[in-house]
Chain A
Amino acid sequence: MRIVGRCWVFGDNIDTDVILPTQYLLLPDVKSMSKHAFEPLRPNFSNEVKKGDIIVAGRNFGCGSSREQAPAVLKELGVAAIVAKSFARIFYRNAINLGLPVVECSTLYDEIGEGDIVEIDLENGKILNKRTGRIHEATKIPEFIMEIFRCGGLVEYMRRDS
């Protein structure tokens, strides 16, 4: 799987409550929740983000609550992948289950600029920053998780399985 997209840059410890604030969790569906993604940090994010964009962040992305609504709204808005120095455990697992590629890379964040175009080679764990021409090493994703990404999430994976 190759993903090419424009980057949005976020910092360290981006928590689930900032990704989707509590007061919107009980909206009836993910589509209506998605209008409020990153509202405390970037109130216009949901209007400005485009299908295929990529989020790049520092350490501990998605820390906090178990709310799957957090990765779900990003997927709903068309975010194609998240690259971070590290992820919080539950967020990481939720994103995989939703078929939203999450990639650990320790170096991209240090040179990324907002709006840079990057190309991610998921199977081989490589990320090319097209602005600098530098190729970054990412943690390789185990095959069974790749298969969930290819299916588009655990729901589709289970359907295929049965």
Chain B
Amino acid sequence: MGMTIAEKILAHASRREEVKPNEIVVVGPDLVMSNDATTHITIDIFRKMGGVKVKSPDKIVFVIDHNVPSNSVQTAEVHKKMREFAKYNSIKLYDGEGVCHQLLIEHHAVPGTVIVGADSHTCTLGALGAFATGIGSTDMAAIWVRDKIWLKVPQTLKFEINGKLPDGVYAKDLILKIIGDIGADGATYKAMEFSGSTVKEMSMDSRFTLCNMAVEAGAKTGIIEPDEKIIEFLSKLRSGRGYRLLRSDSDAEYEKVYYYDASEIEPMIACPHTLDNVKPVREVEGLKIHEAFIGSCTNGRIEDLRIAAEILEGNKVHPDVRLIISPASRNVFRDALKEGLIETFLESGAIVMNPNCSTCWGACQGVLGDGERLISTGSRNFRGRAGNPNSEIYVASPATVAYSAINGVISDYSKEV
């Protein structure tokens, strides 16, 4: 019996000929990421384990991205602790350069490898053909000590998507549709493999959006087989050393295969307070919004900003709405500046922020008040995620968010194209 790409990566990493779902394998991860949401706790656990210096500093990357720049004395202390630990251990630290997953895409992640991050959206990197998954602080601390982790080989669910997405419909709408269909626990413990002509045609930025939200269906990882597009994408960023371009065998065993016709997808929106409370945008059109956010590891890349700028060009953000835009990284910000997108955002009345997790994370920028409603390109709409527990978050594509920001109410952009 053949293996899926996820199984092949875990087999290679655990030096086995073959692995099967539900087997436990021990691997030394190739890349290990920790950010300022949890690293201070992880450092304490590492010390409790008797750790003094991390075993493999070359594999570890620290990113300060969740509260940037620091918004309180308390945050400043957390950042300080992280910087000192990184320096002492010779760990590469990115300080305010962007959202962790975007920085790993731009500087570190490699196809065919095992990547673990102390952040649930680590699965974003599966779009590069890697096995990338989120872990907690104790697992992270144990990796710092021992340079290994046990993983259960997941079953794989295959999502075969064919056809062309209609104009005004994007990867975000597709993944929201899928999560709405299978539920917020529809892929718990499993790998979600995305394939088909739609995925093949998709830009890398769109593929990252697909894999990013796999965790919102409970998945261990989202993954896409590497193709020429990945090679071209990476060749522009860095050298091709260490790539393993693995693909699923034709006789690989999937727990289930889901089929989608992309031409039938319409703009979708996740309504409060779970990611599977998904409806077509047209069903909630007209709902008043107070704030709109474009950014995050889900939708803060250059393609997303281009879509938003095209809609905002020559228009003004509704006077009752704050539109907050945060590019996912310094490189994305720089590209947006060069292309004139930032100029368009400023002209429209948007607030342009530094690259960071921003409003999606709900602790430092664009926090909501009682009874306020946010429409966001982020990944989550949990109760209180953006501040007050009586506020509401709607999650949608950059096009839906930008168009709604102009109108002051939730609006379906696809009707305009």
Contacts and interface: CB of A to CB of B under 8 A. Distances in A.
A18 interface: yes
Interface string B130-152: 00001111110110010000000
B191 to A, nearest CB: 11
Interface in B109-138: 117-120, 122, 134-138
Interface residues of A, number: 41
Contact of A63 (B38, B67, B75, B185): B185
A129 interface: no
Interface stretch (B8-16, B161-169, B199-207, B377-385): B377-385
Given A65-B120, A155-B48, A25 B38 contact: yes
B385 A90 contact: no
Contacts of A17: 362, 380, 382-385
Interface string A41-77: 1000000000000000001100111111100100000
A60 B218 contact: yes
Contacts of B141: 155
A153 B38 contact: no
B90 interface: no
B384 A21 contact: yes
Contacts of B380: 15, 17, 64-65
Chain B interface extent, by class: 35 or more
Given A66-B134, A90-B135, A60 B185 contact: yes
B50 A162 contact: yes
Contacts of A41: 383, 389
A153 B138 contact: yes
Nearest to A39: B389
A59 B384 contact: no
Given A40-B389, A162-B50, A25 B120 contact: no
A18 B362 CA distance: 13
Q: Which of A23, A88, A89 has the most CB of B within 10 A?
A: A89
Contacts of A29: 44
B50 A159 contact: yes
B77 interface: yes
A97 interface: yes
A90 B74 contact: no
A89 B134 CA distance: 9
A27 interface: yes
A16 to B, nearest CB: 8
Contacts of A21: 362, 384, 389
Contact of B138 (A13, A60, A65, A155): A155
Contacts of A89: 188-189, 218, 220
Nearest to B150: A144
B185 A72 contact: no
Contacts of A22: 361-363, 385
B136 A13 contact: no
A34 interface: no
Interface in A107-161: 153-155, 158-159
B218 A94 contact: no
B320 to A, nearest CB: 25
Contacts of B274: 13, 15
Contacts of B37: 25-26, 65, 67
B362 A86 contact: no
B363 A23 contact: yes
Interface string A1-29: 00000000000010111100111011111
A64 B45 CA distance: 22
A72 B38 CA distance: 12
Interface string B26-45: 00000000001110110011
Contacts of B38: 25, 66-69
B384 A40 contact: yes
Given A88-B188, A90-B135, A159-B49, A68 B41 contact: yes
A99 to B, nearest CB: 10
Contacts of A65: 37, 119-120, 380
For the complex of A and B, the 7 pairs showing the least CB-CB separation, nearest first, are A40-B389, A94-B136, A97-B138, A68-B136, A60-B185, A68-B137, A40-B384
22 contacts: A15-B274, A17-B362, A23-B387, A25-B363, A26-B40, A39-B389, A65-B380, A66-B118, A66-B122, A66-B135, A68-B38, A69-B38, A89-B188, A89-B189, A89-B218, A94-B138, A94-B139, A154-B138, A154-B139, A155-B141, A159-B49, A159-B50
